[in-house]
Amino acid sequence: MQQRTKRAALAATVLSAALISVPLGSGSVAVAGVTAPRGDIGDFKQSFVEDFSTDASANGGFAKTYDGSWQPYPDAGIYSSGSQISAHDGLMDVKLDGSNGAAGTFGTPDGAWSHVGGKFTVKAKASGGDGNGAAFMLWPTSNTWADGEIDYPEGNFDASPTGYHHSMTPGQEANRATIGTGVDWRKWHTYSVEWIPGKSVTYLLDGKVLQKITDDVPTKPHRYMFQVGNWGASGHLFVDWVSTYDYEG
């Protein structure tokens, strides 16, 4: 399994993609409420939802309790999901200690790796963790970068989260379009990606469309995951809930 450390400071050439401006407030139903969404949204049919309602300790407890919802990277190198992740008060809590990061994939053991299109939504915020950061992403199950990488939200916690839509041209994958949010990692926000294979990827913040991209749109299976850094100050990344949908348009 490829394990690429994501840093907001990574230098990359901004991709000159086809960006279609869409008025804020148009598009999908907002899902920034207190509780996890239940039910379909148009052509997006809900396939998975997790609201972390069962408390679970770190050091094995979370992995066992949520083995049907979370598929962690092996505890090796910079990632130690087992020691860093717990659940309490209806939240997934990723502890940042300056020494250990965490990474893994949301979804069931069978279904997490086979998304071809869909809607992917997470409600999250950070606490502390200056110099640390996270990247939520749709990453190719093939681990072939040119099959398409979609990052949202991504960035250091002492900056504003951003979306990055990567080129699918072999050898130019580091080129990317940038989608700014203008919000604070340390406040609750709901981040969504709507992916229609081969046609478009739409980035939404709290249910409002930020940008719709029609170039470099993946058509092959992806997984929905995150990576959290381990190089900055201590703190926490909290996930209130996560939901995925299949595209059936």
Query: Is position 171 within any domain?
Result: yes
Count the domains in the chain. 1
Query: Is position 2 within any domain?
Result: no
Query: Is position 78 within any domain?
Result: no
Query: Is position 14 within any domain?
Result: no
Strands (E), 32-175: 44-50, 70-72, 85-88, 91-96, 102-106, 118-128, 133-140, 150-156, 162-166
Q: Which two tokens stand for residue 95?
A: 């502890």
Cα–Cα distance list, 177 to 11, 68, 151, 173, 200 (Å): 13, 33, 10, 11, 13
| Domain extent at residue 204 | 21-72+85-247
Sites in the chain below the pLDDT cut of 50? 1-33
Query: Is position 212 within any domain?
Result: yes
Sign of the alpha-carbon dihedral angle for 83, 89, 90, 96: negative
At residue 18, the pLDDT reads 32
pLDDT one-digit tens code per residue, 1-33: 333 433 333 323 233 233 332 333 333 333 344
Query: Is position 109 within any domain?
Result: yes
Q: How many CB atoms lie within 10 A of CB 155?
A: 24
Q: How many CB atoms lie within 10 A of CB 137?
A: 24
Query: Is position 77 within any domain?
Result: no
CB 156 within 8 A of CB 8: yes
Tell me the helix, strand and coil percentages in the chain, rounded to 5: 5, 45, 50
CB 211 within 8 A of CB 202: yes
CA nearest to 232, candidates 80, 90, 36, 95: 95
CB 249 within 8 A of CB 57: no
What is the C-alpha separation between 119 and 117, in angstroms, rounded? 7
pLDDT one-digit tens code per residue, 219-243: 999 999 999 988 889 999 999 999 9
pTM: 0.87
Domain containing residue 122: CATH number: 2.60.120.200
Query: Is position 11 within any domain?
Result: no
At residue 34, the pLDDT reads 61
pLDDT one-digit tens code per residue, 71-85: 999 888 888 889 999
Q: How many CB atoms lie within 10 A of CB 205?
A: 24
Question: Which residues are registered as beta bridge partners of 102?
Answer: 228
